[in-house]
Amino acid sequence: MATGDLALGQEQGAISTQKRVVNDFSINVATVNGSGSQSANSVLLKSIFGMGVPVSGKNLFPSNIAGLPTWYIIRANKDGYVARTRDTEFLVALNPETAKSDVMALPAGAVAIYEESLNLKQYRNDIVCYPVPFDKITASVCPEAKLRKLVKNMVYVGVVAQLLSIDLAVVEAGVKKQFAKKQKVFDLNFGAVKAGWDFAQEKLVKQDPFVIEKMDKTAGKIIIDGNAACGMGAVFAGVTVVAWYPITPSTSLIEATTDLLKKYRVTPEGKATFAVVQAEDELAAIGMVLGAGWAGARSMTSTSGPGISLMGEFAGLGYYAEIPGVIFDVQRTGPSTGMPTRTQQSDLLSTAFLSHGDTKHVLLLPGSVKECFEFGYESFNLAERLQTPIFVLTDLDLGMNNWMSEPFAYPEKPLDRGKVLTKEDLDKLGGFARYKDVDGDAIGYRTLPGTMHPKAAYFTRGSGHNSSAGYTEKPDEYQEVMDRLARKFDSARKLVPAPVAVKNGTSRVGVLAFGTTDFAMRESLDQIKKQYNKDVDYMRIRAYPFAHEIHDFVASHDRVYVVEQNRDAQLESLLKLDLPADQVVKLRSILNYNGLPIDARTITEEFATKEGL
Amino acid sequence: MAATATPNPKVNRIGLPILDYRGGKSTLCAGCGHNAISERIIDAMYEMGVEPERVMKMSGIGCSSKSPAYFMSRSHSFNSVHGRMPSVSTGAILANHTNMLLGVSGDGDTASIGVGQFVHMMRRNLPMIYIIEDNGVYGLTKGQFSATADLGSKLKTGVINDLPAIDTCALAIQLGATFVGRSFSGDKKQLLSMLKAAIAHKGTVMLDVISPCVTFNDHEGSTKSYKFMQDHDEPVNEVGFVASFEDIEVDYDSGSVYEVEMHDGSSLRLRKLQEDYDPTDKANAVKTLMEAEANHEVLTGVFYIDTEKPTFTDLLNMVDEPLATLPESLTRPPKETLESLMKALQ
Domains recognised in chain B with CATH numbers: 28-330 (3.40.50.970)
Whether A153 and A274 share a structural domain: no
Identify residue B337 by its one-letter amino acid code.
T
Whether A38 and A87 share a structural domain: yes
* Residues of chain B found within 8 Å of residue A459, distances taken between Cβ atoms: 68-69, 77, 79
Whether A34 and A166 share a structural domain: yes
- Do residues A197 and A158 make contact, with C-beta atoms less than 8 angstroms apart? yes
**Which H or E run contains B181?**
strand B179-184
A318 interfaces chain B, CB cutoff of 8 Å: no
Q: How far is A84 from chain B (nearest CA, A)?
A: 23
CA–CA dist B272, A448 (Å, integer): 43
In a domain, A418, yes or no: no
Whether A357 and A249 share a structural domain: yes
In a domain, A411, yes or no: no
A 404-423 → B contacts, CB under 8 A: 407-408, 410-411, 414-415
Q: How far is A4 from chain B (nearest CA, A)?
A: 42
- Cα B172 vs. chain centroid, distance in angstroms? 12
Strand locations in A12-110 (E): 21-22, 24-32, 55-60, 69-77, 90-93
A232 interfaces chain B, CB cutoff of 8 Å: yes
Among A53, A52, A51, A57, which Cα is nearest to A39's? Answer: A57
Q: Residue A580: pLDDT band by 50, 70, 90 thresholds?
A: very high
Among the candidates A168, A189, A211, a domain finishes at: A211
- Name the residue facing A295 among B116, B324, B346 (closest C-beta): B324
A268 interfaces chain B, CB cutoff of 8 Å: no
The edge-to-edge listing of strands for the beta sheet with A459-461 is A459-461, B76-79, B55-59, B100-106, B128-134, B204-210, B179-184, B298-305, B233-235
* Per-residue model confidence (pLDDT) at position A5: 42
CA–CA dist A398, A585 (Å, integer): 31
Whether A19 and A146 share a structural domain: yes
- Name the residue facing A240 among B53, B317, B331 (closest C-beta): B331
Mean pLDDT of A397-421: 97
Q: Is the peptide bond before B164 cis (omega within 30 degrees of 0)?
A: no
Distances from the Cα of A609 to the Cα of A222, A513, A526, angstroms: 38, 19, 17
Identify residue A178 by its one-letter amino acid code.
Q
Closest chain A residue to B24 measured between Cα atoms? A470
- Name the residue facing B69 among A298, A450, A471 (closest C-beta): A471
Q: C-alpha angle with apex A35: A31 to A36, nearest 5 degrees? A: 105
* pLDDT tens, chain B, 346 aa long: 445 556 778 999 999 999 999 999 999 999 999 999 999 999 999 999 999 999 999 999 999 999 999 999 999 999 999 999 999 999 999 999 999 999 999 999 999 999 999 999 999 999 999 999 999 999 889 989 999 999 999 998 899 999 999 999 999 999 999 999 999 999 999 999 999 999 999 999 999 999 999 999 999 999 999 999 999 999 999 999 999 998 776 666 767 899 999 999 999 999 988 778 999 999 999 999 999 999 889 999 999 999 999 999 999 999 999 999 999 999 999 999 999 999 999 9
Residue A526 belongs to a domain with what CATH number? 3.40.50.920
Whether A394 and A431 share a structural domain: no
Whether A287 and A349 share a structural domain: yes
B77 interfaces chain A, CB cutoff of 8 Å: yes
pLDDT tens digits for range A14-63 = 444 568 999 999 999 999 888 888 999 999 999 999 999 999 999 998 88
* Per-residue model confidence (pLDDT) at position A10: 40
Range of the domain at A535: 500-611
Is residue A361's pLDDT more than 60?
Answer: yes
* DSSP category for residue A153: H
Distances from the Cα of A293 to the Cα of A22, A244, A271, A296, B291, angstroms: 53, 15, 21, 5, 44
* Residues of chain B found within 8 Å of residue A238, distances taken between Cβ atoms: 326, 328, 331-332
Tell me whether 0.95 is exceeded by the ipTM: yes
- Do residues A354 and A74 make contact, with C-beta atoms less than 8 angstroms apart? no
Whether A335 and A452 share a structural domain: no
Interface probe with A: pick from B89, B115, B345, most Cβ of A within 10 Å: B345
Whether A504 and A446 share a structural domain: no
- Do residues A314 and A351 make contact, with C-beta atoms less than 8 angstroms apart? no
Q: C-alpha angle with apex A202: A201 to A203, nearest 5 degrees? A: 105
Q: Which residues of B200-233 are buried (b: 16+ CB within 10 A; e: fewer)?
A: bbbbbbbbbbbbbbbbbbbeeebbbbbebbeebb
CA–CA dist A385, A388 (Å, integer): 8
Report helix, strand or coil for A196: helix
Q: Is the peptide bond before A545 cis (omega within 30 degrees of 0)?
A: yes
* Per-residue model confidence (pLDDT) at position B64: 96
**Which H or E run contains A513?**
strand A509-514
- Name the residue facing B80 among A297, A317, A411 (closest C-beta): A317
Strand locations in B274-328 (E): 298-305
Mean pLDDT of A431-448: 97
- Name the residue facing A450 among B79, B99, B335 (closest C-beta): B99
* Residues of chain A found within 8 Å of residue B122, distances taken between Cβ atoms: none
A221 interfaces chain B, CB cutoff of 8 Å: yes
Among A23, A81, A249, which Cα is nearest to A599's? Answer: A81
Closest chain B residue to A275 measured between Cα atoms? B316
* Residues of chain A found within 8 Å of residue B324, distances taken between Cβ atoms: 240, 292, 295-297, 448, 450
Mean pLDDT of A241-259: 98
Please judge whether B76 and A457 are an interchain contact, meaning their C-beta atoms are less than 8 angstroms apart. yes
pLDDT > 70 fraction of chain A, expressed in percent and rounded = 97
Among the candidates A156, A190, A211, a domain finishes at: A211
**Which H or E run contains A233?**
helix A226-236
A136 interfaces chain B, CB cutoff of 8 Å: no
Report helix, strand or coil for B46: helix
In a domain, A217, yes or no: no
Q: Kindly tell me the sign of the dihedral angle through the C-alpha atoms of A575, A579, A584, A586.
A: negative
Q: What end-to-end distance do the CA atoms of chain B give, in Å? A: 84
Mean pLDDT of A475-502: 98
Residue A330 belongs to a domain with what CATH number? 3.40.50.970
Torsion of CA A291, A295, A300, A306, to 10 degrees: 20
Number of domains chain A is built from: 4
Among B79, B77, B89, which Cα is nearest to B121's? Answer: B89
Mean pLDDT of A86-105: 95
Tell me whether strands A559-564 and A389-395 are parallel, antiparallel or unpaired.
unpaired
- pTM for the structure as a whole: 0.96
Q: How far is B238 from chain A (nearest CA, A)?
A: 34
Q: How far is B70 from chain A (nearest CA, A)?
A: 11
pLDDT > 90 fraction of chain A, expressed in percent and rounded = 92
Please judge whether A314 and B84 are an interchain contact, meaning their C-beta atoms are less than 8 angstroms apart. yes
Torsion of CA B197, B202, B208, B210, to 10 degrees: 30
Among the candidates A465, A495, A525, a domain finishes at: A495
Please judge whether B338 and A280 are an interchain contact, meaning their C-beta atoms are less than 8 angstroms apart. no
In a domain, A416, yes or no: no
- Do residues A383 and A355 make contact, with C-beta atoms less than 8 angstroms apart? no
- Do residues A332 and A305 make contact, with C-beta atoms less than 8 angstroms apart? yes
Write the DSSP string, B83-133: T-HHHHHHHHHHH-TTSEEEEEEEHHHHHTTTHHHHHHHHHHT-SEEEEEE
Residue A64 belongs to a domain with what CATH number? 3.40.920.10
What is the pLDDT of chain A when averaged over all its residues? 95
Beta bridge partners of A133: none
Which ranges of B162-303 would DSSP assign to H, the alpha helix? 168-175, 188-200, 226-232, 282-294
* Per-residue model confidence (pLDDT) at position A62: 86
B164-167 long-range CB contacts below 8 Å, 24 or more apart? B165/B136, B165/B293, B166/B111, B166/B115, B167/B289, B167/B290, B167/B293
* Residues of chain B found within 8 Å of residue A292, distances taken between Cβ atoms: 91-92, 94-95, 323-324
Whether A452 and A395 share a structural domain: no
- Do residues A298 and A384 make contact, with C-beta atoms less than 8 angstroms apart? yes
In a domain, A216, yes or no: no
* Per-residue model confidence (pLDDT) at position B33: 96
Please judge whether A449 and B326 are an interchain contact, meaning their C-beta atoms are less than 8 angstroms apart. no
In a domain, A480, yes or no: yes
**Which H or E run contains A38?**
helix A38-50
Q: Is the peptide bond before A389 cis (omega within 30 degrees of 0)?
A: no
In a domain, A413, yes or no: no
* Per-residue model confidence (pLDDT) at position B1: 47
Please judge whether A410 and B335 are an interchain contact, meaning their C-beta atoms are less than 8 angstroms apart. yes
Mean pLDDT of A131-136: 96
Q: Kindly tell me the sign of the dihedral angle through the C-alpha atoms of A545, A408, A179, A274.
A: negative
Distances from the Cα of A185 to the Cα of A141, A178, A181, A192, A598, angstroms: 13, 10, 9, 11, 37
Whether A354 and A475 share a structural domain: no
Whether A391 and A428 share a structural domain: no
B26 interfaces chain A, CB cutoff of 8 Å: no
**Which H or E run contains A381?**
helix A369-386
Closest chain B residue to A294 measured between Cα atoms? B92
* Residues of chain A found within 8 Å of residue B322, distances taken between Cβ atoms: 295-296, 450
Q: How far is B149 from chain A (nearest CA, A)?
A: 26
Phi-psi region of A393 (alpha: psi -120 to 50; beta: other; left: phi over 0): beta
In a domain, A78, yes or no: yes
